[in-house]
Every structure is written in C-alpha cells, then in structure tokens.
Amino acid sequence: MFRSPASLWRRLAASLLLLACSMATTAFGAKSVASPVTSVRLYAIDCGHLSFKDMAMFSDTGEFDGQQGEMAVPCFLIRHPKGDLIWDAGLGDDLAGPKLDALYAPLGVKATIKTTLISQLSELKLTPDDIEFLGISHLHLDHVGNSHLFKHSTWLLNRKEVAWATTDASAAGIVPDLFSGYRDAKVEWLGDNDHDVFGDGSVRILRAPGHTAGHAALILKLANAGTVILSGDLYHTHLNHAKHLVPPYNYSRAETLASFDRIEKLLADRHARLVIQHSPEDFAALPKFPAYLD
Ligand SMILES: [Zn+2]
C-alpha cells in the first residue's frame, strides 16, 4: 500500500522515539516505585557494627596497642536523577549470628547487625533490584557482605582489586565467597583512572590504592552540602587521619601514603567534608536514615 512520504517520516520518527525510550530504560534498569529525584542525595545506612578488644591492627607504629574500640559499618545509597548507587555492602544481613561470629571471632572482633539493608531500602520503596550500580571501596569482608543481593545491578569493580583478592593467598580480610556474585552480574571494570558514575561529575570513584590493591574512595558534589568524600578504609579513625597512621595489614605502605596525600589535597582544595566510614562519630553526624544530605 502506498504511503505519503510525510506519513512514513512520522512512522520513522515514532519508531526512533520508542527505541530511544527503551534504550534509556535498559541503560539504567527498570525504574522502581520510589519517586525519582531531581538532585543528588546521600543516604547513610546502618549495615552493622564492630567491637574490637584491641585496635592494634590499625597502626603499625603502636598508637592503638591494647586499646578497645568501636566501629560503624555503613552502607551508602546515592540517589541521582539518572539512577541509584550503593557504595559498600556492609557485614551481610543473612550472616547475622553464628556465621558472623565464625568470621570475626578469630580476628578478636564482635560483629553485630541490628537492622537489615533490605528493610532500610524498603523504607524508600526500593529493593536491590532497583539499584543500577554497586560500587565497593575494596573487597574486605566488612564491605561486601550484602553484595550478592545486587544480582541485577552493574558492579563497578577495580580489576587490580579483584585480581589481588582472588589470587593472593596472603590477602588478609578477604572471603571470596562473599563477593562471588560479580561472576553472574554485569561488571564495569575500572582501571587506574577515576570513574564518573553518572557522567556529570557529581559522583566519582577516586582511585586511592594502598589499603588494598585497588582501594577507592567516593567523591560527591551535592547542591546544598557541597563536596563530600567517603573514605572507604583509607582512614579507619580520626587519629589515622590526623597522624597519617597506616595499619600493619595493608597492601602497600607507599601507595597508602600517596593516597593520603591525594585525598588531603582534594579535601583542602574543594573545602570538602570527609566522612571516615568506620567512624561512629562521622556516621552519627550524618542525617539519620531516611533523612539524607543533598
Ligand atoms: Zn578494609
């Protein structure tokens, strides 16, 4: 049947629009029932707690020897108009109890989980299936416990970090089963450069190696709160930050000192707020979930 050129153009334009819409949906996943956001938000989520009989493992120059200590284990949700990112995956909801004791007691640590990641996400009407990206500062066991929940997310993984954690028998604090979900997930492999998660400079993964082979921090540009840096485990405590203390369990002392230097410059130049992820004080100073920084 003959169609006028105008009607063919209209049909072609309609098809292209449909294709563009479907590509937009598949690029960032099906959207959740949670309302979309119009600016970047940072939510701090309680993903566990660690109690140490002896904090000696956090400085190789002895400042913590024989001291007890407490650490927060947060996960972070970053909501962006183009999608959602989870930064670090905590202790692991389904490990609470004897499994967690078996993992942490040999390290002289009592690990506890008060509330689950899933239940906190549900307060925002989100499930792990709604999360487009999973970013992990490094693969130590207290940062990957819930990673297996994010089967449908794109995992942003540093290639060196995974190679080290899966092949170096001397790598401490690594339990490969806890992050093996990446084998069945979509992975975006990160190399020696920073990574701009949403392409507009507002959420960037910063290379900050040393604690582990491919350790990273996260830098956020928020409209009201300004620039915020989430430390990963570059610093474990405020004293580690103030005195540049390096833990004895550490991949490379020289790389850690270089990463301190880089992050210090960024903090000063951008007048940024540093969130030391394991610091209970820094966790308590963030808005209490489901409140957020924006
Ligand atoms: Zn660590």
pLDDT digits (tens, 9 = 90+) for 56-105: 999 999 999 999 999 999 999 999 999 999 999 999 999 999 999 999 99
- Domain of 83 in residue numbering reads as 35-285
Other C-beta atoms lying within 10 Å of the C-beta of residue 143: 27
Say if strands 195-196 and 109-112 run parallel, antiparallel, or are unpaired.
Answer: unpaired
CATH number for position 281: 3.60.15.10
Residue 5 within a domain: no
Q: Between these two residues, 138 and 11, which has the higher pLDDT value?
A: 138
Residue 17: pLDDT above 50? no
Q: What is the mean pLDDT of the chain?
A: 91
Q: What band does 32 get if pLDDT is binned at 50, 70 and 90?
A: low
Q: How far is the CA of 234 from the centre of ligand 1 (A)?
A: 8
CA 118 to ligand 1 centroid distance, Å: 23
Q: Is 269 a residue whose pLDDT tops 60?
A: yes
For residue 30, being part of any structural domain is answered with no
Strand, helix or coil for residue 253: helix
Inform me whether the pLDDT recorded for 31 exceeds 60. Answer: no
Per-residue model confidence (pLDDT) at position 172: 87
Question: What is the model's pLDDT at position 2?
Answer: 41
For residue 132, report the distance from its CA to the centre of ligand 1, in Å: 24
Q: Is residue 9 in a domain? A: no
Whether residue 26 is contained in a domain is answered as no
Asked whether residue 225 is assigned to any structural domain, the reply reads: yes
Is 268 among the domain residues? Answer: yes
- Give 29's contacts (C-beta < 8 A, 6+ positions apart): 83, 130, 132, 152, 153
Question: How confident is the model over 239-266, as a mean pLDDT?
Answer: 97
- Per-residue model confidence (pLDDT) at position 19: 42
Q: Render pLDDT for 93-143 as a digit per residue (tens, 0 to 9).
A: 999 999 999 999 998 999 999 999 999 999 999 999 999 999 999 999 999
32 alpha carbon to ligand 1 midpoint, in Å?
Answer: 32
Report pLDDT for 83: 97
Ligand 1: centre distance to CA 49 (Å)? 14
Cα separation, 34 vs 89, whole angstroms: 20
Tell me the CA–centroid distance for residue 160 and ligand 1, in Å: 15
pTM (2 d.p.): 0.89
Does residue 41 fall inside a structural domain?
Answer: yes
Is 19 within the bounds of a domain? Answer: no
What is the per-residue pLDDT for 35? 84
Residue 278: pLDDT band (50, 70, 90) is very high
pLDDT confidence of residue 171 = 87
pLDDT of residue 30: 47
C-alpha 150/C-alpha 153 separation (Å) is 5
Task: Give the pLDDT score at 13.
Answer: 47
CA of 90 relative to ligand 1 center, distance in Å: 11
Give burial (CB, 10 Å; 0-12/13-18/19+) of 14. Answer: exposed
DSSP 26-73: HHH----SSPP-SS-EEEEEEEEEEEES-GGGG-TTSTTTT--EEEEE
Q: How far is the CA of 233 from the centre of ligand 1 (A)?
A: 5
Q: How many domains does the chain have?
A: 1
Q: How far is the CA of 137 from the centre of ligand 1 (A)?
A: 8
Q: What percent of the chain has pLDDT over 70?
A: 89
